[in-house]
């Protein structure tokens, strides 16, 4: 029996939950690598004797790469076997994360983060498509949200691990973040199902904008853009903002970790409810809680302990509900255009990820404090909440029709 046949038989034994767990592990490592730059900025700023704003290009470079990666790998996922495309995406972000450990200047780090982002951008849409393809009817929303929670777990573990590793040198944050995904590639090649969804006869991007998907696509793109803008404005700059306020690098990392931990809490809270009550009804309420918490951080200027609590609630609403927004792409689109639909919706979100960190760097350079940044972050949070409520009304009308 050929090695390909053996791999196919092993992969065939995987249950939908097993496939989702493997995809969730991909997203866990992606979450670690995604925020590795944020957790190393305080130490890099001290080591290279630079201000945190000097790393704005490195922050945004990864987001630009993720935009292109989401668009490109999303299309490939509907044209090529999804096992091959997701394995390639993991290999790309693992290799270039490892290379970041050898950067010697902010410009070099920015270029490597861009290349890392190409692989990171493909992980989420391909994982959503794979998990949605194999999920049992009535369990798709719950399964994809729990799988997507891997990103937040990776963000949280990244903070806890980085807080230890930076004591040995900032390079070790990237060494660990690059080596483990490269090892995972072997497991993915052997265990994931080899096939993919039937290719669409038409251009899958054009199909996203044809009835009955037109309005749903517009709202999905708007929600991804707004929510990821606010998400990464807070997540990627919070450690640096706290450090500038006089907090040690280790405690500053804990602030970012609290936000990521809130994302896990939000996913666990919404996952059991979305298939029962409808995702939009559950998610707009969670998003509203997150928007209120962000507003209170900027309005009240709380002490460190109360700040951590509010940041946790903000992550619960804004970060946690992003997993539900991801699951909607798997629910709205059929298998033939599912990877493209998820990838291009996240591509719109990646534009927000570019603008969010860039806006944070500009505001810090202009001397705007943490309170002002959080007050501004309330605007996209509120816009996401209203867009989710509008999508719920639209989908109920379509179902009734």
The percentage of residues in the chain with a pLDDT greater than 70, rounded to a whole number, is: 94
- Measure the CA–CA gap between 39 and 46, rounded to whole angstroms: 13
Beta carbons of 277 and 303 less than 8 angstroms apart: no
Please, are residues 54 and 177 in contact by the beta-carbon 8 Å criterion? no
The number of C-alpha atoms within 13 Å of 142 and in the hemisphere containing its C-beta is: 12
Are the C-beta atoms of residues 235 and 260 closer than 8 Å to each other? yes
CB distance 146 to 271 below 8 Å: yes
Percent share of the chain, pLDDT over 90: 35
How sure is the predictor about 59, in pLDDT bands with cuts at 50, 70 and 90? confident
pLDDT at 20 over 50: yes
Give the chain's mean pLDDT: 86
Q: Which helix (H) or strand (E) holds 286?
A: helix 279-300
Residue 101 banded pLDDT, cuts 50, 70, 90:
very high
Mean pLDDT for the stretch of residues 90-115: 94
**Helix pair angle (82-100, 171-191), 10° resolution:** 160
3-state helix, strand, coil split of the chain in percent (to 5) is: 85, 0, 15
Question: Does residue 197 contact residue 319 with C-beta atoms inside 8 Å?
Answer: no
Cα 266 to chain centroid distance, Å, stands at 14
With bands split at pLDDT 50, 70 and 90, how would you rate the model's confidence at 199?
A: low
Mean pLDDT confidence for 35-54: 84
Cβ within 8 Å of residue 311, ≥6 positions away: 234, 238, 255, 258, 259, 262, 293, 297
- pLDDT band at 388, cuts 50/70/90? very high
With CA atoms as reference, report the closest residue to 126 among 30, 9, 205, 12. 30
Question: Binning pLDDT at 50, 70 and 90, where does residue 292 land?
Answer: very high
| Closest to 174 (Cα-Cα) out of 37, 65, 323 | 37
Supply the pLDDT for residue 85: 93
Quick one: pLDDT at residue 1? 45
Tell me how far CA of residue 382 lies from CA of 177, 221, 354, in angstroms: 34, 15, 19
Integer CA distances (angstroms), 134 to 219, 322, 388, in order: 26, 21, 26
The three-point CA angle 258-259-261 to 5° equals 65
What is the distance between the alpha carbons of residues 56 and 171, in angstroms, rounded to a whole number?
19
User: For 224-277, what is each residue's pLDDT tens digit?
Assistant: 999 999 988 887 788 777 777 666 777 777 777 788 788 889 989 998 898 888
Residue 152 token pair? 């937040």
Chain centroid to CA 210: 27
3-state class (DSSP) for residue 122: helix
Name the nearest CA neighbour of 296 among 378, 238, 231: 378
Report the distance separating Cα 379 and Cα 390, nearest Å.
17
Q: Which domains does the chain have, with CATH numbers?
A: 3-197+206-400 (1.20.1250.20)
Reported pTM: 0.78
In this prediction, residue 11 has a pLDDT band, given cuts at 50, 70 and 90, of: very low
Question: Number of C-alpha atoms within 13 angstroms, CB side, residue 334?
Answer: 10
pLDDT for 96 beyond 80: yes
Cα separation, 97 vs 5, whole angstroms = 32
Find where tokens 């495309």 sit: 85
Measured distance CA(298)–CA(371) in Å, rounded: 4
Environment class of 380 (CB within 10 Å of its CB; exposed 0-12, middle 13-18, buried 19+)? buried
- pLDDT bracket for residue 282 (50, 70, 90): very high
Closest CA to 229 of 96, 354, 94: 354
CA 307 to chain centre: 23
Q: How far apart are CA 85 and CA 188, in angstroms?
A: 11
């Amino acid at each position: 029996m050929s090695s390909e046949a053996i791999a196919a038989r092993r992969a065939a034994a995987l249950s939908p939950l097993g496939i989702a767990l493997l995809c969730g592990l991909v997203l866990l490592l992606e979450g670690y690598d995604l925020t590795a730059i944020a957790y190393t900025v305080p130490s890099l700023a001290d080591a290279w004797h630079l201000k945190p704003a000097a790393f704005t290009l490195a922050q945004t470079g990864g987001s630009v790469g993720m935009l292109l990666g989401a668009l490109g790998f999303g299309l490939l996922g509907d044209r090529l076997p999804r096992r091959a495309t997701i394995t390639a995406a993991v290999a790309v972000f693992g290799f270039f994360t490892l290379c970041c450990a050898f950067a010697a200047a902010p410009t070099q780090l920015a270029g490597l983060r861009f290349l890392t982002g190409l692989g990171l951008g493909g992980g989420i849409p391909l994982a959503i498509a794979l998990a949605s393809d194999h999920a049992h009817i009535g369990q798709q929303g719950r399964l994809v949200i729990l799988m997507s929670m891997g990103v937040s777990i990776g963000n949280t573990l990244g903070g806890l691990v980085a807080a230890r590793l930076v004591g040995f040198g900032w390079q070790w944050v990237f060494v660990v973040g690059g080596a483990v995904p490269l090892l995972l590639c072997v497991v993915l090649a052997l265990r994931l199902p080899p096939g993919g969804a039937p290719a669409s006869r038409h251009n899958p991007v054009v199909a996203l904008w044809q009835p009955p998907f037109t309005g749903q696509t517009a709202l999905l793109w708007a929600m991804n853009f707004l929510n990821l803008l606010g998400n990464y404005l807070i997540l990627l700059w919070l450690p640096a903002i706290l450090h500038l306020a006089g907090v040690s690098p280790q405690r500053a990392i804990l602030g970012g970790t609290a936000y990521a931990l809130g994302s896990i809490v939000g996913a666990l809270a919404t996952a059991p409810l979305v298939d029962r009550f409808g995702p939009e009804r559950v998610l707009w309420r969670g998003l509203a809680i997150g928007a209120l918490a962000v507003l209170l951080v900027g309005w009240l200027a709380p002490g460190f302990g109360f700040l951590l609590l509010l940041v946790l609630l903000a992550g619960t609403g804004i970060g946690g509900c992003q997993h539900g927004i991801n699951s909607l792409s798997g629910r709205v689109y059929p298998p033939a255009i599912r990877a493209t639909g998820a990838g291009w919706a996240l591509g719109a979100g990646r534009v927000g990820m570019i603008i969010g960190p860039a806006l944070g760097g500009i505001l810090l350079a202009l001397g705007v404090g943490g309170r002002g940044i959080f007050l501004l972050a309330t605007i996209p949070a509120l816009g996401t909440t209203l867009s989710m409520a509008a999508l719920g009304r639209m989908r109920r009308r379509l179902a009734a029709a």
